[in-house]
Structure 1
Amino acid sequence: MNISLPRNGVVIVRKRIRDKAALMLAVFMVVQTLAACEGQRPAEEPDNGGTEEAIYSDPGLTKYNPPIEISLVRNVNEDFSDLISNFPGETLEDNRWSRLYEDVLGIRVKYEWTAKDDLYYQKLGSALASGNIPDIVRVDAQQLRQLANEGLIQDLTEVYEQYAAPFTKDVLSQEGTGPFEAATIDGKLMAVPETAASVEGAQYLWIRTDWLGRLGLKPPNTMNDLLAISKAFTESDPDGNGKHDTFGLALTQYLWDPVMGALDFMAGYGAYPNIWLEDDTGKLVNGAVQPEVKQALAVLQRMYHGGQIDPEFALKDGRKEKALIAEGKIGIMYGEQWGSFVVQPSYEKDSDADWQPYPIVSDTGKLAKVPLRFATNQFLAVKKGVKHPEAIVKMINLHLEKNWGVTAEFEKYYSTPYPAWQLSPVTPFPLLKNYEAFLQLEEFRTTGDEAVLHDEAKAIRKNIDAYRTRNDITGWGWERIYGPHGVYSIFRQYEKNNQLLFESFVGVPTEAIIEKQSILDELKNKTFMNIILGRPIEEFDRFVEEWHRLGGTEMTAEVNEWFAEKGRKTQ
């Protein structure tokens, strides 16, 4: 199957702001729209008044007097428990962010209930079904449509227009119109999208280079090279302990995990099972039912039966599989930029364990396309009847301002270097901030001029320097992301070489998607896992037939109806 890039293209706008003191390259990615949008402003050139007095007199940052209370719910999984332990004296409801919202905005944050992982989603589902929702609720696109159809949430069109600060509007427009289209139902903005950067979904190959060196191997240029490395990592005793106890490739029971998943392994065979694509006829097709997926599954099946994948991976989540990496039992992993922190425990236990990121590779030897799913999948809705629906917009304004605005206190509210931003119930961010920080660091490495570094880049530089000068292990992962040969140096190659493949469907979920998507996803995940574990590869063909019969044909028709309408609007 020939795959075309989205018909409306990808607009990458670079704006270079130079003076004698600083140089900053800001990169703004707009997906599925021909209009370029403004990006994050440099701190020295604010667009919201320029002074603290002007900023906090904006309607979106004024204080309620007397204070108001806003209720939410929250997932407090093990990761959050680990996080809060890094902030002595702070709790979920009483921390630097809850105090800031009350001190500056007069908003008291209250959690109606909390729960962990699966229990959280069960309780949230029950709350949504009963209509017993908090003042502000985080939902996905399907849940948003259901709440809107039932009349349980408020129209935020005028609220957002009136109360979103200029900086907020700039930041939330950086992904183009897609996130707001997904939050708009019957012409009304029914939630504020938690815009996410599709480009942050780009994945990389993480490989133990010390094992490569020990076995006399070179980094891969093709999938065949990668398969040879995986085989050697499994069979040639790369750790030198004389035992047959290592595996080539990391996988988890969740095949589409952003780290240790199979998504970009499949991309190496031109297979993109999690996105809608425009084919060479100009129609949208679902990547899960394309023939390239069958080839990728067959290869994974051979690797599994060849002992190159943990035989118990289908029973293990990311934490358990990460433990194998930490123990020095796995040498290859696909993952997003934060994968460096997944492999870092391996280095912590063994200073010879040297992991490096590489570009993903293809079976043809040509540059692989890097699939990027439409990333905005969470929305903040406000319950019908809440007196101050604008409170959510004010919280978003303040979160952005205190982390990246003129009055930012980055090392207090964002990174200490522990991620303090996660203590906040809302966590918006400039979508290309990570890449921008890398570009500032690159400029600094070239010129030696510290004036080019802004808050985030300064903090990252401290972490990297701590690793390089004092062997502070906490900086190891940061160096693998932001160093001269780190993840973002590879992302720059992806961008330059036109390797980024964006999802083509970014609209509101259609009726068939709402009704059928979860069923088809369950069928896909079960079938693919069973094939990897040994079921006949022909089961893929039966899956394709079932996918179409159980709603895939209907979904495809509706998605193409949306696509045709979108094309007419942009002509």
Structure 2
Amino acid sequence: MHGKKGIALLLSSFLVISLAACSSGNNGGTTPEESAAGSNAPKDTASLTPLGKYDPPIEVTAVRGITEGTKYSEGESIDNNVWSKAYESELGVKVKYLWTTPTAQYDQKLNIAIASDDLPDITPVSASQLKRLVEDGALEDLTSLYEQYGSELTKGIMSQDGGNAIKSATFDGKLYGLPNMTSGLGQTHVLWVRTDWLQKLGLPEPKTMDDVTRTAEAFVKQDPDGNHKADTYGLGINKDIFGFYAGMQGFFNGFHAYPNTWVKDASGKLGYGSVQPETKAALLKLQELYKQGLLDKEFGTKDATKVSEAANGGKLGLFYGFFWNAGWLQDGKNTDPTMEWKPISIVSSDDQPAKAQVPFAINTYYVVKKGAKNPEAAVKVLNFDFEKLWGETAQPDIYSVNNNTAIFEYALLYGEAPRKNLDAYLNVVKALEANDPSGLNTEEKGYYDNILAFRAGDLKLWGNEQMYGPAGSLSVIDSYSKNVQLVDDAYYGAPTQGMTDNNATLQKLQLEVFTRIIMGGSIDEFDQFVAQWNDLGGNTITGEVNDWLASQ
């Protein structure tokens, strides 16, 4: 979601943690004794605090991938920018990159570095790389360093998912990585509905799966755009079937199916959501919609961007996706000011409420090489990053986003609180009701101002209202949270050997079979898929996942 859709969209994913979560302050905490920090402890007392400065400065080596399209101000680079300068001037940490590479090549280059035992002090790694490095004895144990140096803000953010992120980086009771925190909650689905079309056709908002079907049919057959051509689609779906825009997780959730995640069965064992009977029922319904012409006949060739072009071009009236999809609809609103979309809760196929699936969202960890001279520096840099992005002294216009530039991408370590967007929504709505923004931090005040500007007629800020306004997409996620309508991925361990060996094959198989079934293949193929899935490694993985569960 980064890059091209303007500052409102960019900021939506990188919102400030709630005031409540940071009001306890983050410069406090007891100053650890040098002896407690081990033989590598710095020798000046100032640097023994979470945000204390090293004097004299220290050098920390690192490597990283660079996101395609990363922009810098004139004269700046990954080695010379607002973050690197602040690390040196405020923390006394000079960051030296041994190498950087485009993100697409990062894993491959890092695997070579791991194999040749050539790691820098701080390295971003995947869950499987973390596991391998722990087994090789190549990493510093961060347990006591995190406890001693972690600021209150850092520890608050890191524990906001109930502790699963930290558990996922813990092996035999020892913490070996700092998770790059992100929000699983922000990756739940809402149902986006073209409400001006509903009004035009005299239809109510969908409340059930049958309503979704009826609405999709009306959007296809009753000419909602009034051009006397049969050129509109009912329900959007992308070629990968799942994903952040026009993905079908929310649709499957309506059948109490949770594909691509691990769920507990009645006996307390973990099973893979994609091979459960509820998934078969959802596929059968999608097949029916396809047969009726309510899905794009050529969906198998269209990615999320193509589907969004159909929505913005006035050819699509319903799709499931993330809360920030409003940002991707802004172009359509700019082109056609009468276009209205509303985010609503996912709907159920029966009398049981639908629950939205929440993926385990951590896929990057920051690790410290065993024997690094200042292993606590990683924790202190993370404290600094969180403070400048989300803390009481945050300066988002300097450190997060400015002039459509994603400055946060330059930070050595990164993370965002799982509830941050939800908390920001609650704060903004409260301020709107009271007509008093004085309690808002800089970034929340930006949303508040943008919503008022939209209400005063600036349609280019419509997306702010659709996300952070009283009836915005985050109000839907808030209702999931309050009504306990969420199903967390029950597995948050490192990839098992079976996953490493077989996941690519199993994912390919799933996509091929699900696509064939939706396009009219026999539903009996699902049972063959389940058998094949088990034979091709699924049985092994299920065993490994349940062994992991037993060890928790």
Deviation at 1:428, TM superposition (A): 1.5
Deviation at 1:111, TM superposition (A): 6.7
Asked whether 1:40 is paired with 2:21, we answer: yes
Question: Which deviates more, 258-267 or 123-132?
Answer: 123-132
Q: TM-score, normalised by structure 2?
A: 0.86
Q: Work out whether residues 443 and 452 of structure 1, in 8 Å CA contact, stay in contact via their aligned partners in 2.
A: no
CA distance 1:426–1:493, change in 2 (3 Å):
same
Deviation at 1:124, TM superposition (A): 4.7
CA distance 1:73–1:26, change in 2 (3 Å):
closer
The aligned counterpart of 2:428 is 441
Asked whether 1:344 is paired with 2:330, we answer: yes
Q: Decide which of 244, 261, 267 is 1:258's aligned counterpart.
A: 244
Deviation at 1:129, TM superposition (A): 5.3
Deviation at 1:487, TM superposition (A): 1.4
Deviation at 1:562, TM superposition (A): 3.1
* Partner Cα distance (1:115, 1:423) in 2: 14
Asked whether 1:452 is paired with 2:439, we answer: yes
Question: Which deviates more, 234-243 or 287-296?
Answer: 234-243
* Partner Cα distance (2:312, 2:467) in 1: 19
Deviation at 1:457, TM superposition (A): 1.8
1:78-477 map, 5 Å = 80-81=69-70, 84=71, 90-105=76-91, 106-108=93-95, 110=97, 112-115=99-102, 117=104, 119-124=105-110, 127-128=113-114, 133-416=119-402, 418=404, 419-471=406-458, 473=460, 475-477=461-463
Deviation at 1:431, TM superposition (A): 2.5
Q: Work out whether residues 57 and 94 of structure 2, in 8 Å CA contact, stay in contact via their aligned partners in 1.
A: no
Deviation at 1:90, TM superposition (A): 4.6
The aligned counterpart of 2:466 is 480
Deviation at 1:523, TM superposition (A): 2.3
Deviation at 1:361, TM superposition (A): 0.3
Task: Give the length in aligned residue pairs.
Answer: 519
* Partner Cα distance (2:540, 2:84) in 1: 46
* Partner Cα distance (1:400, 1:101) in 2: 13
User: What SS does the corresponding residue of 1:304 show, helix, strand or coil?
Assistant: helix
Bigger relative CO (Cα 8 Å, ≥ 6 apart): 2
CA distance 1:307–1:121, change in 2 (3 Å):
farther
CA distance 1:281–1:486, change in 2 (3 Å):
same
* Partner Cα distance (1:232, 1:89) in 2: 55
Deviation at 1:482, TM superposition (A): 0.8
* Partner Cα distance (1:565, 1:466) in 2: 54
Q: Work out whether residues 181 and 414 of structure 2, in 8 Å CA contact, stay in contact via their aligned partners in 1.
A: no
* Partner Cα distance (1:170, 1:104) in 2: 23
- CA-based RMSD of the aligned residues comes to 2.8
The aligned counterpart of 1:22 is none
User: What SS does the corresponding residue of 1:40 show, helix, strand or coil?
Assistant: helix
Where do 5+ consecutive residues of structure 1 fail to align? 1-24, 28-38, 567-571
* Partner Cα distance (1:280, 1:469) in 2: 53
The aligned counterpart of 2:37 is none
Deviation at 1:382, TM superposition (A): 2.8
Task: Letter of the 2:409 partner, please give it.
Answer: Q
User: What SS does the corresponding residue of 1:360 show, helix, strand or coil?
Assistant: coil
Deviations 1:76-113 (A, max 9, x none): 22xx44xx27x566544433223222322233353713
Q: Decide which of 49, 58, 63 is 2:54's aligned counterpart.
A: 63
Deviation at 1:470, TM superposition (A): 4.6
Task: Letter of the 1:468 partner, please give it.
Answer: R
Deviations 1:53-90 (A, max 9, x none): x998725442363452432221422xx44xx27x5665
CA distance 1:307–1:107, change in 2 (3 Å):
farther
User: What SS does the corresponding residue of 2:456 show, helix, strand or coil?
Assistant: helix
Q: Work out whether residues 181 and 417 of structure 2, in 8 Å CA contact, stay in contact via their aligned partners in 1.
A: no
* Partner Cα distance (2:542, 2:287) in 1: 29
Q: Work out whether residues 512 and 558 of structure 1, in 8 Å CA contact, stay in contact via their aligned partners in 2.
A: yes
Q: Work out whether residues 437 and 448 of structure 2, in 8 Å CA contact, stay in contact via their aligned partners in 1.
A: no
CA distance 1:152–1:426, change in 2 (3 Å):
same
Q: Work out whether residues 184 and 508 of structure 1, in 8 Å CA contact, stay in contact via their aligned partners in 2.
A: no
Q: Work out whether residues 249 and 309 of structure 1, in 8 Å CA contact, stay in contact via their aligned partners in 2.
A: yes
* Partner Cα distance (2:313, 2:408) in 1: 30
Where do 5+ consecutive residues of structure 2 fail to align? 1-16, 30-44
Q: Work out whether residues 107 and 391 of structure 1, in 8 Å CA contact, stay in contact via their aligned partners in 2.
A: no
Task: Letter of the 1:421 partner, please give it.
Answer: F
User: What SS does the corresponding residue of 1:337 show, helix, strand or coil?
Assistant: coil
Q: Work out whether residues 152 and 384 of structure 1, in 8 Å CA contact, stay in contact via their aligned partners in 2.
A: yes
Deviations 1:364-394 (A, max 9, x none): 1442111112222221123445433333222
Q: Work out whether residues 175 and 195 of structure 1, in 8 Å CA contact, stay in contact via their aligned partners in 2.
A: no
CA distance 1:74–1:532, change in 2 (3 Å):
same
Task: Letter of the 2:440 partner, please give it.
Answer: L
* Partner Cα distance (1:255, 1:150) in 2: 38
Task: Letter of the 1:469 partner, please give it.
Answer: A
User: What SS does the corresponding residue of 1:364 show, helix, strand or coil?
Assistant: coil
CA distance 1:288–1:127, change in 2 (3 Å):
farther
Deviations 1:169-220 (A, max 9, x none): 2221111221122112233322111223332222100111112122222210
Deviation at 1:323, TM superposition (A): 2.3
User: What SS does the corresponding residue of 1:545 show, helix, strand or coil?
Assistant: helix
* Partner Cα distance (1:309, 1:250) in 2: 6
Task: Letter of the 2:443 partner, please give it.
Answer: E
Deviation at 1:501, TM superposition (A): 1.4
Q: Work out whether residues 40 and 430 of structure 1, in 8 Å CA contact, stay in contact via their aligned partners in 2.
A: no
Q: Work out whether residues 28 and 152 of structure 2, in 8 Å CA contact, stay in contact via their aligned partners in 1.
A: no
Q: Work out whether residues 50 and 383 of structure 2, in 8 Å CA contact, stay in contact via their aligned partners in 1.
A: no
Deviation at 1:293, TM superposition (A): 0.8
Deviation at 1:120, TM superposition (A): 4.6
User: What SS does the corresponding residue of 1:206 show, helix, strand or coil?
Assistant: strand
Q: Work out whether residues 181 and 508 of structure 1, in 8 Å CA contact, stay in contact via their aligned partners in 2.
A: no
Q: Work out whether residues 249 and 331 of structure 1, in 8 Å CA contact, stay in contact via their aligned partners in 2.
A: yes
Deviations 1:141-191 (A, max 9, x none): 222112322344333233323332232122211112211221122333221
Q: Work out whether residues 211 and 331 of structure 1, in 8 Å CA contact, stay in contact via their aligned partners in 2.
A: yes
Deviation at 1:413, TM superposition (A): 1.9
Question: Which deviates more, 101-110 or 411-420?
Answer: 411-420
Deviation at 1:340, TM superposition (A): 1.0
Asked whether 1:528 is paired with 2:550, we answer: no
Q: Work out whether residues 93 and 111 of structure 1, in 8 Å CA contact, stay in contact via their aligned partners in 2.
A: no
Deviation at 1:401, TM superposition (A): 0.8
CA distance 1:149–1:358, change in 2 (3 Å):
same
* Partner Cα distance (2:339, 2:390) in 1: 35
* Partner Cα distance (2:542, 2:198) in 1: 44
Deviations 1:252-279 (A, max 9, x none): 2222212221111111111111211122
User: What SS does the corresponding residue of 2:65 show, helix, strand or coil?
Assistant: strand
Deviation at 1:546, TM superposition (A): 1.4
